[in-house]
Amino acid sequence: MKIVVLASSSTGNSTYVECGNIKFLIDAGMSFSYIKEKLFTLGVTPDEINFILVTHAHNDHVRCIHTFARVYDTKIYIGENTYKEYQKKEYLKNYEFVEDIDNIMGINIKRVPISHDKSGYGYILEYDGIKLAYITDTGMIHSRYHEAFNNMDVYLFESNHDVEMEMNGTKDEMTKIRNIGDEGHLSNEDCARYLSHFVGDRTKYVMLMHLSEHDNTVDLAFDTNRKSLDKSISLYVSKPNDISDIIEL
């Protein structure tokens, strides 16, 4: 399995995953030209993308899925409510609701509902014995799903904001309360707390995702989470406008 975050922030999110000969994206929330350029740097062309797995309908996660669908007839896997909320659904001819599947091309998939102001999912993927957990844009992870997150090989987890920076920032009060609430985003401390419970002896990598550009820093996110993780676990921070470190298992 190969994992590269093409971009992750409030301005746009997309992650490239390669499982054997299968190549796919989790979200496509940057411009098509940006994603195409970053794929080219990995030696991948857009027509090689087998499918796009969508988390939710905010524009920073779905900005160019319609271009992939229109130009390449790329298969789109999307939640039923997300499909209803998506503004360019007329371009999605080749799609399937994720509620109807548990396997795509030999990749086992579990859905984990996000707690956000748009309905959607995080995902737990397993291929060839390797397990990946991906979740962003959630204010909390319900306890009924905690067991499913235990002892992954790789975690791609939201570490969105520092609470003090968020509350002392320039956003309006309603946005601040939304962001730190149960339907907002995981803070650095939230992320570290969840990871400290979930990681296990098979865990090799953690990638911190969706950092706020105004109410967090790379150092704060890294240091807060580093304290909760065994030193044997490699910890990375995704970038807002460039590809991340490459994870290969």
Question: Residue 183 has what pLDDT?
Answer: 86
Report whether pLDDT(86) > 90.
yes
Terminal alpha carbon distance of the chain: 5
Full-model pTM:
0.96
Q: The domain 2-248 is classified under which CATH number: 3.30.70.260, 1.10.10.370, 3.20.20.110, 3.60.15.10?
A: 3.60.15.10
Taking residue 234's Cβ as centre, other Cβ atoms within 10 Å add up to 14
Question: Residue 46 has what pLDDT?
Answer: 98
Looking at residues 38-58, what average pLDDT do you find? Answer: 98
Report whether pLDDT(25) > 90.
yes
**Torsion angle, alpha carbons of 30, 31, 35, 37, to 10:** -140
Per-residue pLDDT of 191-241, as tens digits, reads 999 999 999 999 999 999 999 999 999 999 999 999 999 999 999 999 999
